[in-house]
A and B are shown apart, each in its own frame.
Chain A
Amino acid sequence: MPPFLQFVIRRFMAIPISLLFITLVLYGGVMLTPPEARASLYMPNTQRNLTPEQIKRLEENIIERYRLRDPYLVQYTLWAKSLFEGTWGYSPSLNEDVLPSLLRRTPATVELALYSLLLLIPLGLVSGVAAGWKRSGGFDRGFRLLAFLSTSTPPFILAIVLLSLFYINRGWFAPGRLDLSYLLEISDGEFVSYTGMMTIDAFLNGRTDILGNAFRHLAMPVFTLSIYHWATLARVARVSVLGEEKKEYVTAARARGIAERRVVWKHVFRNTLTPSLTSMTLSAASIVTGVFVAEIIYNINGISTIILSAMSGAPDAPAALGFAIYSVIMILLLMFMLDVLQAIFDPRVREGVLKA
């Protein structure tokens, strides 16, 4: 097996382990509630037609079957098993099973996250390296000011400002995923939904008007998300470049007569990738939280819709727990992808990990 594949597989195996620790803690939280409340995690989608006595009996049945009065580990094992088999419980506020409802909303979330990352990672790395290489130059000063402004503006306030200026006043961009007319057209026509991501589907269907419209709706949330995390990433990239100019490999490269541009973008750039992408991996949770916040503010029907409905209606523990686990899985996958990306670009990561 090629060493790179080995690394990828080994890194992938870390995901279930992390998930195990987190679910242990989450179920520990569930354990604080009485058994009757825990039973709601397994309640099927039939309670509406049942009398209170029947619900009571059903509850007792569930407590018996999933051994909800037994010790923690027994309950946890049965619950973890049900995660693999079942539909993660029935959510009364969504009037739907949790897992299908999460899966259906995933493409919208992924689309938003994907475009933001595609924008912010290259931009952050390049601008950070350029600023750090010519320290205290004109570009560096402008960069530092912009990065400071970006990190000090909370995304939700930036969102208010953007919405007010470009949606209310100018009408250039809009919240939501598509204009209403297009949404209606999509729901009842020849438009085939391949991936659930509007831009890609529109492209595959050859509908440039929908494509343009989808991008117009994506513009503000993507900008809101990218600008904040761009600054964080670019700052790390900048700092990691600062000492590099005096390093011997740069001198050696120059001595060999390599063009300055190539020295920076071929040699120095690669050395800054590891710290920059590591810092991103560590803040993956905050990036995904940012995605959820942007979804809610810009009214995009992604997976965070679920918590909004859970918070406003009847008690809905299955939705809350399902959302927690699902978002953890998303973050773990994001971390995994960033690590693989790092390994692709930085041979040292591959070597180092493989030697260990």
Chain B
Amino acid sequence: MSDELVLSAQGLTKSYGRVQALRGIDLEIRRGEVLGYLGPNGAGKTTTIRCLLDLIRPDGGTLRVFGMNPQEKSVEVRARSGYLPGELQIDPNRTARAALRYFNALRGNNVDWAYVNELSERLQLDLKTTIKNMSHGNKQKIGIVQALMHKPDLLLLDEPTLGLDPLMQREVLRLICDAKAEGASVFFSSHIMSEVEAVADRVAIIRKGVVVEEAEPTSLINRAFRRASVRFKQAVDVEQLDKVPGVRVLSRDDGTSVLLQVEGEMENLLKALAALPVIDFETERPSLEEIFLAYYEDEGQEV
């Protein structure tokens, strides 16, 4: 990954009538970086991606892709980008091969067809089948091939593994990693935390049109709360642990074991436990999914 900025958005806003889809998005992606874009439905993920390709026009903010304004240099930006829409629609009367040939023609016939065949083989996509006879997953494979076939510098993937079986999901993640290895930047939205955790260099969590968190997955996990499981030699009064700053008792048994959630430093908890007959103490960090769900829960509470 280099320091070269491929994509930057500052204060990006977009409204659909009275609905504010984006309320000031700030984002950056560098060359060779994979950014996982997480958020619940309607958070603004697709709107952000569509602004980058000039499919829709933002109301405010600054947007630069490869240093260019997509509204002024849309053709140049798209020539270097590969896009997989969240709701992929392709002419159903064509075969997969005919559809890809059409997309190749729109790119000026500069695609290496051997690479198209390689991608199709990796995804087990039969190019001879007519699209209307394909399953959702196979249509999604066409979408992935068309996004990757010209080896773009920037990949914009809106839920790339949607509708794919686990084996194919893994293959798509490999393709993303391969693209990254060749220097491409990848911006992909997803609901599946494990895949984001597996391939993303950074994660941005969007909620109600605002990026509420942006960090490396490991840093996000380290910064978040963790769980502590404690066993005692004999029953103790666990209520005193509930009063420790940053500590919340999640479950308790007969006083001989307790599950705690700890936010921030462990120092206060360790001091409190020092006065108790502890025989076992384990901590675990939450998965990215749990962190993401915590943002969801916050949203639910607000609603």
- Decide whether A and B are members of one complex: no
